[in-house]
Each structure stands twice: as C-alpha cells, then as structure tokens.
C-alpha cells in the first residue's frame, strides 16, 4: 500500500500541469439546473437520454440522476475522423443504439461541441429514424472553432474559450477522463 504522502505525489487530481476551469461543485450545480429544465419540459413524454461514448459518460450519468421523470437511456459510440487535430466530419458508428427511437423524444448527450462536424453528422443519422423529437445537450460549447454554425445546442453546461480541456469524461489521448473537475492542460508536451 502506498503511503498518503506517496499517493499525493502521484495524484492525478492535484497534477500541477492542470489548471482547474470548473470545479466538481460548479459542474454539479450547473448539471442540476439542466436537470430541472429538462424535467419541466419532458413531462408525460417518452424521453430517451442518448450518451455518446466515451466522452459524455460522466455527464450522462450525472444528468440522468437529476432528471426527475421516468426516462430510459441508450448509448452510441462514434469515431470522428481527424485530419491532424481537426475533425473532418466523417463519422463511423462503432456502436449503434440498442433500441429503436421511433416516436420517442431523444436528447443526445455530448461532452463538448467543437467544430460541430461530428454532431451534425450524428444528428443526420438519427434524424432519419422517426423520433418524435431530437434535441442536443452538451456539457461544453467551444464556439470559436465551430464550422457548423447552424448546429443548435438546446442545453449547454458552459461556454468555454478555444482551449483544450480534460476531465469529467473528456480526454487527451485517452487520459484524464476520471478527473472530477474540468481542467486545461498547461503544457501539452508534459501531458
Ligand atoms: P467536433 O466534431 O470538432 O465538434 O468534435 C467534437 C469531439 O472532439 C468531442 O466529442 C471530443 O471528443 C473532441 N474534443 C473537442 N475539443 C476537445 C477538448 O477540448 N478536449 C477533449 N476533447 C475534445
Ligand atoms: Mg466525444
């Protein structure tokens, strides 16, 4: 067993290369507000909360628990092809929904909308399946690099500057998803 001191030295949560942008408490408070809003708007509607793996897993798990309605959940996994670090808009479905969405009210839950190319394509795919309605919830909105300006985010957690963020489900090369807060990597070469 590592001692407490040893553990602190290796703590990911106090990693000096991370600058906290939103604390766990700030995120929880904002997610609760979104839950209240959604709960009021979907009374008597058959709502399915679709999480887009893996980035939205933490937000999805927290959001469903502040929606005080009889909802169901489902998941999709998509890979968005990148040209360097830029999204190209080509989306491959790695895991499709488990159940049909015909006549259901859908909220697609995302971690972050950047260029908007991935979600625009995903909404096109889901749009052909006869859902009663499809809306979009994104924890973070990074409007500056947006290419798909027409993409409407119905429920936004926070609008952020054009910086690369990690934590609360968001990763850099697969790492940092487990951070309870959202942070900016100060020196990406040390990430
Ligand atoms: P888009 O097609 O450019 O909107 O790509 C959105 C996807 O890129 C998100 O679902 C994330 O997986 C990833 N992404 C964009 N910005 C960030 C960031 O700042 N941190 C981590 N992942 C990001
Ligand atoms: Mg993602």
Is 20 part of any domain? no
Is 17 part of any domain? no
Residue nearest to atom 12 of ligand 1 (CA): 55
Report the residue among 111, 123, 139, 165 best suited for mutation to probe ligand 1: largest number of ligand atoms under 8 A from its CB.
Answer: 111
Is 6 part of any domain? no
pLDDT digits (tens, 9 = 90+) for 155-164: 999 999 999 9
Residue carrying the six token digits 């937000």: 59
Q: Which residues contact 21 (CB under 8 A, 6 or more apart)?
A: 160, 163, 165, 181, 182, 183, 184
What is the rounded (10 degree) CA torsion for 140, 85, 121, 159?
20
Pairing, β 133-141 against β 72-83: unpaired
Comparing 10 with 50, which gets the higher pLDDT? 50
- Element (H or E) spanning 185, and its range? strand 182-185
Average pLDDT score over residue span 113-135: 95
pLDDT digits (tens, 9 = 90+) for 92-112: 899 999 999 999 999 999 999
Q: For residue 21, with 0-12 CB atoms within 10 Å meaning exposed, 13-18 middle and 19 or more buried, which class applies?
A: buried
Q: What is the CATH number of the domain that holds 31?
A: 3.40.50.2020
Reported as a pLDDT band with limits 50, 70 and 90, residue 6 is: low
To the query of whether residue 114 is one of the catalytic residues in this protein, the response is yes
Residue of 68, 74, 103, 114 with catalytic role: 114
Is 94 part of any domain? yes
Chain CA centroid to CA 26, Å: 16
Q: Distance from the CA of 170 to the center of ligand 2, in angstroms?
A: 7
Is 165 part of any domain? no
Is 35 part of any domain? yes
Is 133 part of any domain? yes
Is 64 part of any domain? yes
Query: What is the tally of structural domains in the chain?
Result: 1
**What is the extent of the structural domain holding 91?**
25-160
CA distance 81 to 27: 29
Q: Distance from the CA of 118 to the center of ligand 1, in angstroms?
A: 9
CA distance 129 to 127: 6
């Amino acid at each position: 067993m590592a001692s407490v001191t040893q553990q602190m030295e290796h703590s990911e949560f106090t990693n000096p290369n991370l600058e906290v942008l939103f604390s766990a408490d700030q995120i929880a408070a904002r997610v609760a507000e979104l839950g209240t809003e959604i709960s009021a708007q979907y009374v008597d509607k058959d709502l399915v909360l679709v999480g887009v793996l893996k980035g939205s897993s933490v937000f999805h798990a927290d959001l469903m628990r502040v929606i005080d309605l009889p909802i169901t959940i489902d998941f999709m996994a998509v890979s968005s092809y990148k040209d360097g670090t830029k999204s190209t808009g080509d989306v491959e479905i790695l895991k499709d929904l488990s159940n049909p969405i015909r006549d259901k009210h859908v909220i697609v839950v995302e971690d972050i909308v950047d260029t908007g190319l991935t979600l625009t394509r995903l909404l096109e795919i889901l749009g052909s399946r006869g859902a009663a309605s499809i809306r979009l919830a994104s924890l973070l909105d990074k409007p500056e690099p947006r290419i798909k300006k027409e993409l409407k985010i119905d429920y936004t957690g926070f609008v952020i500057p054009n910086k690369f963020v990690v934590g609360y489900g968001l990763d850099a090369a697969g790492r940092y998803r487990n951070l309870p807060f959202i942070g900016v990597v100060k020196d990406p070469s040390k990430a």
